[in-house]
Amino acid sequence: MISRRGVLEILAAGSVLGASGPVFAQPAPGDRSVLVIGAGVAGLAAAQTLRRNGFDVVVLEASDRIGGRLWTDRDLGAPFEVGAGWIHGPEGNPMSVLAAAVGAHTFVTDDESLEVMYADGETVPDGTIVDAEEQLENIYERVDEEAGRGESLSAALDRLDSGFLDDAVRRWMTSAYTEFDNGAALDDLSGQFFDEDSVFPGDDVILTGGYDQVLAPLANGVDVRFGQRVRSVRLLEEEGVEVTTDQGAFRAMYVICTCPLGVLKQGQVTFDPPLPGSHARAMDRMGMGNVTKIALKFDAPFWPVDTQYLGLVTEPPGRWNYFLNYRTFTDQNMLVGLSVGAYPLVAEAMSDAEMVADAMLVLRDAYGDAVPDPIAFRTTRWSENPNSYGAYSYSRAGSSPDDWETLAEPVDGTLLFAGEHTCWDNKGTTHGALLSGRAAARWIIDDA
């Protein structure tokens, strides 16, 4: 008899079954074997929950590291968060529980500590910011009530106040706040649903030692196989599932697929039988957004060192319009700039040198030509990353919360999807990914 562990052993392509060869077993009733695709927060959370409940779990990960879109790079001397940067709403947030478990130091980023500058270097007066924020809040309330089905946010704004986006500061705000939050351009966002996520309370925090510290408790004891890019998921007629990677095939009773929405949309993984129409249509309607970050390290600061955020009113609007000042929580002279809205695809098509030059143009417009070149930098290109093809899911015009909920529904009692794109209330966040992974694991625990 083949052990439960055997169920999960690799079946090398073309190998012959035998005593000395790779073990292969047909999953049978009673097996508690699960394959998890992807070692990001969702996949690790699912695997850890299942492992603790006595299941045999193997995680198949395409890349050579855990974390997925939670990825800390320390090359510049301070932790640069390539993907997720903040625990949004830390109170009651399960990511805070993980951070506390590893003793991670958190720093509250102060949204009010903001200096916004016009392109010519003139500071936008605080009163103008406050007025624009109030106007934005008011019009978003109207959009919430009056946006039509399938209408984009930009179309709704234009219909309700045709001059609203002509004001440079308001346009900056819609980009630096809304396009960043959602990872998508106003033209693509759903007017009905763009701001419907629920949030945990509390001001956002960052982990000064690096966000990736939270991965340790999730990954502890979990069997992750790296370099295993999944190409197909086949639901077996008899029982269970066969998952094929570039390296071979694996079988188990259940599979949890946490491939990001961008990967699924690209058709990198094929499903046999094809996914139910409800799942496929939901994926089509949902949007996968983009955000580009650039980390710039300087010899000395040329910006106000105590100000948390530097806003720059740029053209086009999503171009390096918001910078996080690392001097507020590290001793490094670092700025992390963001491109959002339609601009990430422009920025990510540039070479590294071009991207740095582009960000420096914006900074020199605001702070003067004497601003020196950075001594080191780090760029990101999430839109091109084959492990995500984008930053995070967003409510595209024409989509609805039902689409995220549909994706979270099990297929044939064997295949489950998890990941931020299956958690409407907390989509685009690490805690959304965590909660979705745990929910998928719980479904299997109840079903087995």
Ligand X SMILES: Cc1cc2nc3c(=O)[nH]c(=O)nc-3n(C[C@H](O)[C@H](O)[C@H](O)COP(=O)(O)OP(=O)(O)OC[C@H]3O[C@@H](n4cnc5c(N)ncnc54)[C@H](O)[C@@H]3O)c2cc1C
Tell me the one-letter amino acid at 299. D
Residue 6 burial (10 A CB sphere; 0-12, 13-18, 19+): middle
**Torsion, Cα of 398, 402, 408, 410 (10° steps):** -110
Residue 83 lies near ligand X (rule: CB under 6 A):
yes
Residue 379 lies near ligand X (rule: CB under 6 A):
no
**Torsion, Cα of 118, 121, 125, 129 (10° steps):** 30
Measured CA to CA, the distance from residue 185 to residue 78 in angstroms comes to 30
What's the closest the beta carbon of residue 211 comes to ligand X, in angstroms?
8
Question: Mask 13-52, x = binds ligand X (CB under 6 A)?
Answer: ------------------------xxxxxxx---------
What's the closest the beta carbon of residue 99 comes to ligand X, in angstroms?
12
What's the closest the beta carbon of residue 218 comes to ligand X, in angstroms?
10
384, 397 Cβ separation under 8 angstroms: no
List 254, 382, 417, 443, residue binding ligand X (CB under 6 A):
382
Nearest residue to 304 (alpha-carbon basis) of 318, 325, 288, 286:
325
* Contacts for 361 with CB less than 8 Å, ≥ 6 apart: none
Residue 214 lies near ligand X (rule: CB under 6 A):
no
Q: Are β-strands 376-379 and 292-297 bridged in parallel, bridged antiparallel, or unpaired?
A: antiparallel
What's the closest the beta carbon of residue 229 comes to ligand X, in angstroms?
5
DSSP character for 174? I
Residue 443 lies near ligand X (rule: CB under 6 A):
no
Q: Binding residues for ligand X, how many (CB under 6 A)?
A: 42
Residue 86 lies near ligand X (rule: CB under 6 A):
yes
Question: Mask 219-248, x = binds ligand X (CB under 6 A)?
Answer: ---------xxx------------------
Question: Mask 413-432, x = binds ligand X (CB under 6 A)?
Answer: ------xx-------xxx-x
Tell me the one-letter amino acid at 349. A
> Which of residues 86 and 250 has its CB atom nearest to ligand X in the complex?
86
What's the closest the beta carbon of residue 427 comes to ligand X, in angstroms?
7
**CA distances in angstroms from 9 to 49, 241, 431, listed in the order given:** 21, 13, 31
> Which of residues 317 and 432 has its CB atom nearest to ligand X in the complex?
432
What's the closest the beta carbon of residue 109 comes to ligand X, in angstroms?
10
Measured CA to CA, the distance from residue 394 to residue 427 in angstroms comes to 8
Residue 150 burial (10 A CB sphere; 0-12, 13-18, 19+): middle
Residue 89 lies near ligand X (rule: CB under 6 A):
no
Residue 30 burial (10 A CB sphere; 0-12, 13-18, 19+): exposed
Which residues share a beta bridge with 309? 114, 324
DSSP character for 413? T
Residue 439 lies near ligand X (rule: CB under 6 A):
no
Residue 85 lies near ligand X (rule: CB under 6 A):
yes
List 10, 25, 84, 219, residue binding ligand X (CB under 6 A):
84
List 33, 49, 154, 268, residue binding ligand X (CB under 6 A):
268
183, 12 Cβ separation under 8 angstroms: no
List 27, 68, 210, 311, residue binding ligand X (CB under 6 A):
68
User: For binding to ligand X (CB under 6 A), which residues are involved?
Assistant: 37-43, 60-63, 68-70, 83-86, 88, 228-230, 258-260, 263, 268-269, 291, 293, 382, 387-388, 391-392, 419-420, 428-430, 432-433
